[in-house]
Amino acid sequence: MQLRQQEQIEKIDKTTGQSIPNIGFFNKILLYIERVTGERNIAKFLLQGIILTTLLGLPTVFASVLRAKLYRVIFGQIGKGCLIEKNVRLSVPSRIFMGDRVFLGEYSYLDPEDIKARINLGDNVHISRLCSLRGRGGSIVIGDSVHLGRNTYINGIGGVEIGRECLLGPNVQLISGNHIFDDPSVPIRLQGTKREKIVIGDDVWLGMSAIVLPGVNIATGCVIGTGAVVTKDIPPYSIAIGVPAKVVRKREISAVSVQREGIQKL
């Protein structure tokens, strides 16, 4: 009987936009447990539920510190000096790994969505309020000292990698997957997705409401203008604006910067 139930769950069509599957009440419970913990493990589900339910909505900075300490029981890793504001929503937290001094803003949502995926946040990362990091089966890796502005959305289905010292303005979107729509006789949601990794180099600034599409590589030192839609790779130290984004000029490295960099290497 258990083997048959297992086979039923594995045969569920995981197409885009799927509603609640018609597989029976018990199987729905198992599927939900797997969705929020990454495993069909009832004990893990109960422990995670107790911790999140108890601590999720507690106010004050004291509670933000307390959450960062007690969530270590269910996270993959939480470093020193982290703050987690109230009402941060989490799924599959065992696949979320945070460095030191990470800040998670209120109403943010972190969800690797699969036990094989992961969300890695380096040291000194700031996740502003209302941000959404959705692994969707892929991994999201964010380097040290990165700031995500309010309401940033990252879709990691194809993989997203962000380098060190980056700034993402409010409402920025990184989308590493796209719907396949080649066959007009088949609903688009049933045709699957194309997954392509997005790579953002070090010291990149993405302006407010910029959108980066699948497969794009934005090299070190670039500036992307407000509202730009980046569809192609951007070379190092470029300034790009528009829809689609086009390079309008290069950032020049001054003699002072070169001298400073030389001193730092000594």
Helical (H) or strand (E) element with 48 = helix 42-55
Our answer to whether residue 179 is catalytic in this structure is: yes
CA dihedral 231, 236, 240, 243 (to 10 degrees): 0
CB neighbour list of residue 98: distance below 8 Å, 6 or more residues apart: 75, 77, 78, 79, 82, 121, 125
Three-state DSSP at 223 gives: strand
Amino acid occupying residue 154: I
From the list 80, 89, 116, 179, the catalytic residue is: 179
Peptide bond before residue 59 is cis, with ω within 30 degrees of 0: no
Q: What distance in Å separates the CA atoms of residue 87 and residue 75, rounded to the nearest whole number?
A: 16
Q: Any idea what the Cα angle at residue 160 is, between residues 139 and 194, rounded to 5°?
A: 85
CA 139, CA 159: separation in Å to the nearest integer? 5
Amino acid type, 55: L
Considering only CA atoms, which of 169, 219, 182, 177 is closest in space to residue 196?
177
Q: What are phi and psi of 205, to 5 degrees?
A: -115, 120
Look-up of token digits 């070169």: 258
Q: Tokens 């959705």 belong to which residue? A: 134
SS3 for 127?
strand
Catalytic residue list? 179
